[in-house]
Chains A and B, each alone.
Chain A
Amino acid sequence: AQSVTQPDIHITVSEGASLELRCNYSYGATPYLFWYVQSPGQGLQLLLKYFSGDTLVQGIKGFEAEFKRSQSSFNLRKPSVHWSDAAEYFCAVGATGGSYIPTFGRGTSLIVHP
């Protein structure tokens, strides 16, 4: 069975600082990996996704993520955080091929200090 672990429940950064959110997955083959953001009172928005190919994936809002098979990780990064990035971030894994039935991590809450 597939699973996702986001080790950090909360992360606090200062505006302008760099950010890295951790995600570890468990899946028997090369997974499809996703990062979503959820602002208060809103649904999820897809930031980026990895299916195959280049292991460094660029997404929206200046985010990127790197797939590392050896570490079963798919960490999300941003070089300079803005106050508007404060939100809940979810990593998800989907089985390769077929319908999209994702398994989500428990989420990391990002707090941005001015």
Chain B
Amino acid sequence: KAGVTQTPRYLIKTRGQQVTLSCSPISGHRSVSWYQQTPGQGLQFLFEYFSETQRNKGNFPGRFSGRQFSNSRSEMNVSTLELGDSALYLCASSLVGQVTDTQYFGPGTRLTVL
């Protein structure tokens, strides 16, 4: 069974631009979560999607948004990029997103904002 895939793996943008990251979950998984990992703040939960609906959201500004498609693939978008948005963005999928499910992580997208 293929794992979680994220595209692109690396991205360089400039301040003020917007970016879209993509995540394809493991087949059969309906929950997709996004995380931001930075040296300063560590790993932080961004949001979780289940059945095309955002079910949970972390403490991030509205510039961070996402969506999920009917095939469970998910995208996250960051508008008006700031230098502090430079991070590794991780996507994880699980069957239904319950705390008892096992989350499987993708390799991440490394975003650099110049």
- By a beta-carbon cutoff of 8 Å, the part of chain A in contact with chain B is 32, 41-46, 49, 51, 90, 94-107
Contacts and interface: CB of A to CB of B under 8 A. Distances in A.
* A-B interface, 7 closest residue pairs, ranked by CB to CB distance from nearest: A43-B105, A104-B43, A100-B99, A44-B105, A94-B99, A106-B42, A43-B107
Interface residues of B, dominant DSSP? strand
Nearest to B3: A43
A100 B105 contact: no
B102 A43 contact: no
Nearest to B88: A43
Interface residues of A, dominant DSSP? loop
A97 B98 CA distance: 8
A90 B94 contact: no
A99 B56 contact: yes
Contacts, number: 57
A41 B50 CA distance: 27
Contacts of A103: 45
Contact of A95 (B50, B94, B99): B99
B108 interface: yes
A102 B108 CA distance: 17
Contacts of A49: 102
A45 B97 CA distance: 16
Nearest to A51: B100
B48 A99 contact: yes
Contacts of B97: 99-100
Nearest to A104: B43
Contacts of A32: 99-100
